[in-house]
Structure 1
């Protein structure tokens, strides 16, 4: 093989190595992004569960207050 062919081959190999290194860096960045997003997703799920629980608790309290008010109104109507 001639020297020029070897230089071209070397250049192609170096370009391939550079591309592989860049792709590996991109993979690492994507892994870090995935981990961050997974943590964020888990935190959001926990927050949603807490909010749903709180909403249910508030609905129960609201229903209890409605019952109390109805009972008081019934007592007031019976007094008249």
Structure 2
């Protein structure tokens, strides 16, 4: 008799566990798609960051050349009476 009670409780526990896990397992495909979208966004952001860094380097080079040009203009203006 006690064996049947133990088996019943164990079976009931497994049923409750299965019912608790079912919604989570049902959302796994949706969660996978969300993770995939986030990974694609991360890759796009990394590419954008690389482009922004390249643009920053180019703008610094242009600013440096502009400073050199300003220095040359100052030298030319200083040489003229």
TM-score normalized by the length of structure 2 = 0.72
Give the match for residue 39 of structure 1: 40
Give the match for residue 21 of structure 1: 22
The Cα shift of 1:67 comes to: 0.8
C-alpha distance in 1, partners of 2:10/2:73? 93
The Cα shift of 1:34 comes to: 2.2
The Cα shift of 1:60 comes to: 0.8
The unaligned stretches of length 5 or more in structure 2 are: none
CA RMSD of aligned residues (A): 2.5
C-alpha distance after superposition, 1:22-52 (max 9, x if no partner): 2323444433332222111111111111111
Q: Say how many residue pairs are matched.
A: 79
